[in-house]
Amino acid sequence: MARLATALIAEFPDYYRWHSKRAFQHNNITQPNRNRLLWSDESVDGMKTGYTNAAGYCLVASARRRGMRLISVVMGTKSPAERARQSKRLLDYGFKNFETHRLYGAREIISEVRVWEGDKERLALGLQDDLVVTIPRGQYASLQARLELRERVMAPVAVDSQQGTLRVVLEDELVAERPLLSLTPIDLGNLWRRLSDRVKSMLE
């Protein structure tokens, strides 16, 4: 449910905004939103309530405070009031104890590698999308980015081909892992460049 909510917010923002409406009227019939948090917490703007005999009263809630969005999922409660209360507790705990940081932007140059026998010697590497992480509050300075790059990059190189891996760790715990992609294509160099690089390669 959390993954579905994340995808809906990111990929269908125009549709998601309907989840913040407290009521909807059609054919003179008013249908109230059953998400009670919309009345008690201004930061909450979604998302979905539910009930079945097997799952009990459920609520996927989403809130945004000080630029950070969190999603809570509560299932198996005994009443609508209880699902709202437990969701509020989860969200309050998350905002109090965690913080979100944008580490790298999409297509931002993170590193460069040497390219052999190409029309250019340096290849810029980056990520397909923004890299955003949520970590315990006050731990940002302890984040470490570790790059694992291909040992030797040979031309030609297609744009967006994977040339390594970026891992973000916090006290040796993996927080995020993304492929490092080539941001530009590199063609084969001329004959002189190719021969020159082959000689340099043998001398290394």
pLDDT tens-digit profile of 58-96? Answer: 999 999 999 999 999 999 999 999 999 999 999 999 999
pLDDT of residue 11: 94
pLDDT of residue 200: 84
- Rounded Cα distance between 5 and 3, Å, is 5
How far from chain centre, in Å, is Cα 5? 13
- Rounded Cα distance between 35 and 81, Å, is 10
pLDDT of residue 197: 83
Q: What pLDDT band is residue 199 in, cutting at 50, 70 and 90? A: confident
> Cis (ω within 30 of 0) for the bond into 156?
yes
- Rounded Cα distance between 105 and 26, Å, is 42
Tell me the pLDDT tens digit for each residue of 21-37: 999 999 999 999 999 99
pLDDT of residue 204: 74
**pTM of the predicted model as reported, rounded to 2 decimal places:** 0.81
pLDDT of residue 193: 87
Assigned token pair, 43: 């930061």
The answer, yes or no, to whether residue 47 has pLDDT greater than 80, is yes
| pLDDT (mean) for 48-53 | 96
The answer, yes or no, to whether residue 5 has pLDDT greater than 80, is yes
Tell me the pLDDT tens digit for each residue of 123-170: 999 999 999 999 999 999 999 999 999 999 999 999 999 999 999 999
